[in-house]
Amino acid sequence: MSTSSQDRIVSTTVRIFGAEYSIRSPNESEYVQKVAELVDEAMRRVSTHRVMRSNTEIAVLACMHIAGELLLAQEQLDEALNRIGDTTDALTRILDEETAEAS
């Protein structure tokens, strides 16, 4: 996440699903724009699968989709960190054994 100084609030105008929003955030404008593009894309993707949904329903379904992607990414990160930890432990044991044999 790209953040600026916590003391500085940046106002950025974004367009999501046809509506403009003024977002005040400590994040840089480029970051806020990327987030808005992600939300807009998710809402457009959801809206193509369902006919006659309200914008609120589309927004909720888009949020559910984004949250699902986030949870999956977190699970994958946890698994990768566990594998790294296991590999580190195994390599440490090998180094300890080699060091003990060399002594």
pTM of the model: 0.76
Residue 37 lies in a domain: yes
Residue 1 lies in a domain: no
pLDDT per residue, tens digit, the chain (103 aa), is 555 455 799 999 999 999 999 999 999 999 999 999 999 999 999 999 867 789 999 999 999 999 999 999 999 999 999 999 999 999 999 999 999 888 7
What distance in Å separates the CA atoms of residue 43 and residue 12, rounded to the nearest whole number? 20
- The confidence score (pLDDT) of residue 7 equals 73
Residue 3 lies in a domain: no
Domain boundaries, position 58 = 10-102
How many domains does one find in the chain? 1
What distance in Å separates the CA atoms of residue 72 and residue 61, rounded to the nearest whole number? 17
Residue 28 lies in a domain: yes
Residue 72 lies in a domain: yes
Residue 4 lies in a domain: no
Residue 90 lies in a domain: yes
